[in-house]
Chain A
Amino acid sequence: MSGEYLAFLALALVAIIGGVLMLNLSKVVHMVIALVFTFISIAGLYVLLSAEFVAAVQVLIYSGAITIIMLFGIMLTRHREEDKEKTTTGGFWRKALTAISVFAFGAAVYLGVYQLDFGENAARLHEKNAEQIGTALYSHYIIPFEIISVILLVALVGAIILAKKDDGEAQKK
């Protein structure tokens, strides 16, 4: 059992626990913190894969920007702290079926990857990986890169028109 394996186990465990907690906690701020744990441990997994640049981006964007925006969202909207009993839809059979299918899928994937051996790791991935990503992004993948800018435009426009108060609505308040 190598050190890398131990680190992987720890990080993966934290990531999964963070995800599960995020679903089960009842206060929104706690959920965000659980999510931060997941984000940061995923960044750790990227470091293990010698993708330092992606890891830095993960920390900056997910644990930084997205978490802050979520906190702002929580701050600026009303939250009634209600201790309602947890109600979920669907009967016993539906839940059981969902659980069975989730576990079956997990088992199928686990069977596939457990013994899988991809042979040698690519040796040159860690060398100047920010430069490698930059070169690929701005030469080879320039077309998808430009389309992503259209996606950003669409997302911005969408966020504004969906969240903006309409004139009539704003005057009423």
Chain B
Amino acid sequence: MSMHTLLRYEWGVMTPEFIIIGTALILSLVDLLMPDDKDRRPLAWIAFVGVAIAFVATIGLIPAETTSILHDTFRLDAFGKAFKLLLLAGGALSLLLAFDYRPKEGLKHRGEFSYLMLCALLGAMIVTSSGDLITLFVGLELLSISSYILVGLRKTSVQANEAALKYVINGGISTAMTLFGMSYIFGLTGTTNIKEIAVEAQKLTDGEYQYILALAFLLLFVGLAFKISTVPFHMWTPDVYQGAPTPVTAFLSVVSKTAGFAIVLRLLITIFAAAPARGKDTSSMLLSMQDYIAFLAGATMIVGNIVALKQRSMKRLLAYSSIAHAGYVLVGFAAMSWVMIDSIWFYLLAYLLMNFGAFAILQRMSDEADSDDISRFAGLYQRSPLLAVAMGVFLLSLAGIPGTAGFIAKWNIFLGALMTEPGHYVLAAVMIATTVISYVYYFGIFVQIFFRPAAETSSLRLPIGLTLIVVVCALGTLLFGVVPGLAYHFLGQFEHFGDFLQ
């Protein structure tokens, strides 16, 4: 291929990716040339600025038409733009968290911390905007491998070592399953381009081929369940979240999960939506598999919420709560209403805001004493009323109380489950029941914050980065809770992601 052909493509649509990778490279060089005794915390600010510029560049790309580079190995469509905005916002917030991360034992390798996070973010962005199995898989691996290292960065901590090892082994198994599923899909269709796969899959009318395709569907879904930490692959979540440094935990629970949902939606909808099947709907394998997805969604909600009840460690509690939230989002997918992608996007936005807020405050409280026990929050209201109120807002949003973004998000998923024909009443009922269960542990934290006496009486000061996160997240949570129309107006310009399949 000559230079001329190569330059013919519109590489401009990859600007956000180029900015991220450029920042990562600059940071690695700066880190290398800096004297050893210099403090490397400012590097996180450079990374933050890079991500912010990439965010602006992505917003600038919103009017751009659907563009495909090199046979869809990179494609920019409405779906990619919308999810990339979420990922970049999440990445920027994790870098702010990393800037103010001061664990008791200190953190070496702050430089690497920043640019590994940028590489992970790059992987996540690639996952949202590609139409080729190979690129999708490579992006997913970039995200995974960077996160394995980030989890293990606290080398002196036993918990972190255990977490990193568990994460690598579980991740390896899930990658193998995903790849096994992909290999069957490639074998049946003979191409890696997912649009061509969809065309080929429609021609598979023979029962034998459909059996293999269904097997591939299940393998793919179970393998990808690792990234979104839903039931068959959720066991790693609490240990890894507890052992990892808090900014990495926040990154995993929001950015990694958003990327996971992006790849699940794109692969499963594009490939299987029109593939014939033998199940209850002969025209669409995705619809025939609906019951399995619904079952996993239900199991995820139940397991996540029930086990969260007896957690004392805040990080483990938030880990189980994140499993439960993945279950709610999966309800949106299982229902397969026409507002599916919109409501999932809004849910992930609300989840990003409330989760980052909660993690910022948790980081401040646990760094202080090197413990993340729930009793650390006792008497927070007396020590710092504003912080207590902010934490209250995040908890209300996580629980899904009206007036917060979490409520609107849950409400939309709930309506989506009922608006289809026939409605998913059982799933909706399970969702309500588990939400009620979740009140118990969220309000347990409430009681600690507002009604228990404080162990220490010293007032709390929040560093600048954390203050920024808490303010932005609290305002966002309330804003989208009161005027959700803002986000839906923004989504309106994507027209329900119609260019997804074209």
Residues of A in contact with B (beta carbons under 8 Å apart):
108-109, 111-113, 115-118, 138-144, 147-148, 150-151, 153-155, 157-158, 161-162, 166
Contacts and interface: CB of A to CB of B under 8 A. Distances in A.
Given A112-B212, A116-B208, A154 B74 contact: no
A168 to B, nearest CB: 9
A144 B135 contact: yes
A69 B47 CA distance: 34
B28 A157 contact: yes
Nearest to B141: A151
B142 A147 contact: yes
Nearest to B6: A142
B402 interface: no
B215 A112 contact: yes
B279 interface: no
B215 A155 contact: no
B11 to A, nearest CB: 10
B71 A140 contact: yes
B264 interface: no
Minimum-distance CB pairs A-B, first 4: A158-B149, A139-B1, A144-B138, A143-B73
20 contacts: A109-B215, A139-B1, A141-B134, A141-B135, A142-B6, A143-B69, A143-B70, A143-B135, A144-B73, A144-B132, A144-B134, A144-B135, A147-B142, A148-B138, A154-B146, A157-B149, A158-B116, A162-B152, A162-B155, A166-B155
Interface of B: 1, 6, 21, 24, 28, 69-71, 73-74, 108-109, 112, 115-116, 119, 122-123, 126, 130, 132, 134-135, 138-139, 141-142, 145-146, 148-149, 152-153, 155, 187, 208-209, 211-212, 215
Given A113-B212, A144-B135, A155-B145, A150 B122 contact: yes
A140 B70 contact: yes
A18 to B, nearest CB: 17
A161 B1 contact: no
A46 to B, nearest CB: 14
A7 B476 CA distance: 64
A2 to B, nearest CB: 21
A134 B187 CA distance: 21
Nearest to A116: B208
B145 A151 contact: yes
A148 B149 CA distance: 17
Contacts of A148: 138
Contacts of A154: 116, 119, 142, 145-146, 149
Contacts, number: 85
Contacts of B134: 141, 144
A147 B126 contact: yes
A139 to B, nearest CB: 4
A148 B71 CA distance: 18
Contacts of A116: 208-209, 212
Given A118-B187, A141-B134, A143-B130, 12 more contacts: A109-B215, A140-B73, A141-B73, A144-B132, A147-B122, A147-B138, A147-B142, A150-B21, A151-B138, A154-B149, A158-B116, A162-B155
Contacts of A117: 208
A145 to B, nearest CB: 9
B251 to A, nearest CB: 15
Contacts of A151: 138, 141-142, 145
Contacts of B119: 150, 153-154
A161 B149 contact: yes
Select the residue from A143, A153, A158, A166 with max chain B CB neighbours within 10 A: A143
B135 A115 contact: no
A141 B146 CA distance: 22
A124 to B, nearest CB: 13
Contacts of B142: 147, 150-151, 154
Nearest to B213: A112
B124 to A, nearest CB: 12
Contacts of A155: 145
B149 A112 contact: no
Contacts of B132: 141, 144
Contact of B70 (A118, A142, A150): A142
A125 to B, nearest CB: 11
A73 B152 CA distance: 20
A143 B149 contact: no
B135 A161 contact: no
A115 B209 CA distance: 10
Nearest to B212: A112
B268 to A, nearest CB: 19
A117 B209 CA distance: 9
